[in-house]
Structure 1
Amino acid sequence: MTRKALVFFGGWDGHEPGPTSEIVADMLAAEGFDVTRSEGTAILGEGDLSSFDLIVPVVTMSDVEADAVKRLTAAVEAGTGLAGFHGGMADTFRKNTDYQFMVGGQFVAHPGNVIDYRVEILRNGDTLLDGIDDFDYHSEQYYMHVDPRIEVLATTTFSGEHAPWVKDTQMPVVWKHGYGQGRVFYSALGHKAAEFDHPQMREILRRGLLWAARKAD
């Protein structure tokens, strides 16, 4: 049976939600998913969200009805996967802590804005990022508030150049965790659509999307 994915997009235009959501939809279609791509958050209040095997938010700094988030969290708790990237998933609904609890973290700052930094892959026995080495990246280096329960797969270390008080702070960049019966995956990489040309960034997200999706029977 073909698996179904929902990609909903919108919010702040600076994250290029239209182009980036289209890239993600195409990635999932290439993996055999039947993809619904929908602008805005209205779809969260429609139909049975648990009929999707994967939901990908690509929305930044938006407001949403509390009931819509309850429907989304209920679907993930029941087994629908959730996966996403950068502010499109970790700065989606700033005012809704139920959503943030499900994601496992929330963006709070990017000192220096777009800068060069290093992404370090953790060698902790997890196989999801096998074959991917540490790499340099040029983008916003996200400083985040994170749930201590997440399973961290990659980190970055702040130099302190742009915010001296966070010097040497090691921050999660990629993580996964469980939420009820659902799987949740997040990557902080992907500020603009052009970043999908970065091979490690794209491959990490591709693997995460597939990992989070409800497994085929």
Structure 2
Amino acid sequence: MLEEEYEIRRWLEENNVEQFRLEKIGAGIVVHAQSHVIIRSPALKKLPVQFGVVEGNFYIKAPLQTLVGAPRGVKGSFTVDTLGVSLKSLIGAPTIVGDDFVCCDAKLKSLEGSPKLVMGSFVAANNLLMGLKHAPRTVGQDFDVSANPIHSLTGFNCEIAGNFIHTCHGGHRIDEVSSRYGLDQHTADFNRVKLPGDLIPHLIEQFYLEKLAHHRFCSMKPMRSRNVVRLLNEA
């Protein structure tokens, strides 16, 4: 990680991150971005700065080998494209994502480090996942793990407001899906469960406000905000 403020500012400017604020926390410096962050680098294997809160979307296209340094909270969507390089796990990913979380084609073998709360869809398609342990606790729309060699749902405990989507990969099927939900097909595409009305505020308080006491996760895109209100009213 870069330690000096001038080095951090220079790196951010080189990567076209224009609206940001630096905050010294302990011995390190955290970068809070007031707009979208878009990083494209064909050689970047690890983020050299620690992002805190990103007010917009966070998109990175680089051969990352780790998500350490990624934002701790994103109010928009979070998308990582590793250019086919193996990421192995999601350790370092944001705790809360206000829109979609997307990490496909990254050779993921584990969901360890997944966000606790994803307000949009969680998409981890075309990876090497054999199980779904460490998945997010709550997903506000679809949970898409298409084209993964998933054998088991052991340890999978996720509240999904949209659809669970898994397509058969290499002849494998998730037997627990059929037995638990009465489905007799290789593609599980179904409405699973509705979010409990008090779950979202509880998770925001527990996993966001406690970690980032100086910031509030309160601004969502208008459409997402309406979706959340609808989900809470229906619960």
Pick the TM interval, shorter chain: 0.3 to 0.5
Q: 1 or 2 for the larger relative contact order (CA 8 Å, sep ≥6)?
A: 1
Scaled by the length of structure 1, what TM-score is found? 0.32
Q: What's the TM-score once normalised by structure 2's chain length?
A: 0.31
Question: Which structure would you say has the larger Rg?
Answer: 2
Which one has the bigger helix percentage? 1
